[in-house]
Every structure is written in C-alpha cells, then in structure tokens.
Amino acid sequence: MANVRLIARLDVKGPNLIKGVHLEGLRVIGDPQEYARRYYEQGADELIYIDIVASLYGRNNLTDIVRHAARDVFVPMTVGGGIRSSDDVRDLLRVGADKVAINTAVVKRPELITEVSRRFGSQCMVLSIEAKSRGDGRWEVYTDCGRERSGLDAVEWARRGIELGAGEILLTSIDREGTRKGFDAELTRAVASAVSVPVIASGGYGEPRHLAEVVSAGADAIAVADALHYNRTTVPQLREAAQAQNIPVRAV
C-alpha cells in the first residue's frame, strides 16, 4: 500500500484562517501564513487552502495568500475557492499552487474539468466534492460552501468527474466537518470504490482511531483542519498515531 498523505487543510476568508462547523458559524483563527509555515515545519505532506466564501461573492483572493505561502512552504499546495475558468487556474499555478480544487464552478459547468485537465494535466485538477447524507445510503453534492443543493449524487458525480479528467478527489463530509466525530467512512468507501484516482478524506477528525477507520474505507490521504489549528494535535502526533495503527506514512 502506498503511503497515506497527512494533509493540513486551511480554510480562509479574506485574509484570515477560519474554522466553522458543518462549513458554517465561522470563527477567525489567525494568519494563514503563520499556520502554513508551522505545518510545513512539522512535516505535513501537503497543504490545502480553500477560500470558503469566494464562490458566494464571485471573487478570488487566494493569489496573495498562495504567493506568500510559496516563499516558505516546499511541499505541494492545493488551492480552491472561487475558481471559474482555466485562466483562474493558470494564475494560481503561477504563484505557486500545484493543484486546484474546484466544486461550484464544475457543478455548473462540468466541461471545466476537461479544460483544466487538458491544459495543465489531470494531476492538477482536483474535484472537490462537498457532500451531505440523504439518509438513504446516498449523499448529495452541495455547492457554494455547503449552502446550495445540487441534486447530484456524490458517487455518480465522482465517477463522472473522473471521466471528464479529474485526477484526484477532495471529499468533504458536511455532516462531519468540524464535529470531531470522525470522517464519514461510508461516504469515503462509496466514492473510493467507485473511482480509480486518489481520494482525500476531509471533515471530522477527532481522535487517532478515526485515521484507521477512514483509511480502511479507502482514503489515500487525510485532511485535518481544526484539530491542528486549535493545537489538539500536531502533524508529528498524527504521523505517530498512523504508524501505531500500521497505516503507512512517510518517515520524517
């Protein structure tokens, strides 16, 4: 089995690192640059930045944040929020992003997935899926930071997104996000078994056993946000916890 990636996820609003519960009730945590540098120094395998209100206001303020981060961070950075065109992608790659995560814009216009993957490679096009359980063993895709229902089934949308050219899936459970109750393992299993590309599980980390649960459900990477931001854990502690549960991770 390949090494599971431990990813620090930073949700930003304007110039601030923020955190909410179920993608709502946002609280300001601090300067994203400071946190990004800390996670890099701690040995995070990757960073994910999401501007969580960008699509609501139709703007993109991540360029400055990414440009700053790229000065000190020498691990891959995935960036999302408010991306609407392949030119937006180009602008983010130019300032140091390695991949982009797109949700709302590709739900509205799925061809954008193909445009981005043709122009920059599929490895660059991360399909961001924010999903909520319908209670019948299926999950619905939400857009605009968990506010708008799309009517799409998360598993079918994942499959279609890969056909269109996405090279990775960032799978956020809105139900679990910010709750510390563990990742949505069933959602992860349903999506990971439907697609042939890596799946990043996001939303719900609370304690070490949650890592093993979501990895056995098929996650290739794990994104952790507030547990790191609030210092309930650190990247080295996550790595040790993974190793203790026989989850392969890179040695730092």
Partner 1 sequence: MSKARVTVVDYGTGNLFSVQRALDHCGADVKMSSKTDDIVAADRLVLPGVGAFADGMKGLRDRGLIEPLLQFAATERPMLGVCLGMQMLATTSEEFGQHQGLGLIPGRVRQVPTQAVNGEPNKIPHIGWSEISPASGGTWKETMLENTTAGTPVYLVHSFHLIPDDPAHLLADCGYGGHRVTAAVRSGAIVGAQFHPEKSGKEGLKMLTAFLRL
| Under rule CB under 8 A, residue 128 binds partner 1 | no
| Under rule CB under 8 A, residue 194 binds partner 1 | no
| Under rule CB under 8 A, residue 54 binds partner 1 | no
Please identify which residue in 48, 53, 79, 97 interacts with partner 1, judged by CB under 8 A: 97
219 vs 172: CA distance, rounded Å = 12
Query: Would you name the residues annotated as active-site residues?
Result: 11, 130
What is the number of alpha carbons within 13 Å of residue 59 lying toward its C-beta? 6
Residue number with CB closer to partner 1 (121 or 236)? 121
| Under rule CB under 8 A, residue 58 binds partner 1 | no
Name the minimum Å distance from CB 138 to partner 1.
24
* Token digits of residue 44: 């995070």
Segment 2-41, which members bind partner 1 (CB under 8 A)?
Answer: 2-3, 5, 40
Q: Which of 237, 202, 191, 154 is nearest to 10 (CA)?
A: 202
* Token digits of residue 211: 């890592």
Beta strand 168-173 with 199-202 is parallel
Residue number with CB closer to partner 1 (81 or 167)? 167
| Under rule CB under 8 A, residue 119 binds partner 1 | yes
Residues 6+ apart with CB under 8 A from 75: 40, 44, 45, 46, 47
Residues 6+ apart with CB under 8 A from 20: 11, 26, 27, 52, 177, 178
Q: Which stretch binds partner 1 (CB under 8 A): 22-30, 71-79, 137-145, 239-247?
A: 71-79
| Under rule CB under 8 A, residue 246 binds partner 1 | no
| Under rule CB under 8 A, residue 122 binds partner 1 | yes
Q: Which of 60, 55, 10, 220 is nearest to 150 (CA)?
A: 55
| Under rule CB under 8 A, residue 196 binds partner 1 | yes
Please identify which residue in 82, 167, 178, 182 interacts with partner 1, judged by CB under 8 A: 167
* Owner of token pair 């980390």: 205
Name the minimum Å distance from CB 2 to partner 1.
6
Name the minimum Å distance from CB 251 to partner 1.
6
Assign residue 201 a region: left if phi > 0, alpha if psi is -120 to 50, beta otherwise? Answer: beta
Site for partner 1, rule CB under 8 A: 2-3, 5, 40, 43, 45, 70-71, 74-76, 93-98, 118-124, 167-168, 196-198, 220-221, 250-252
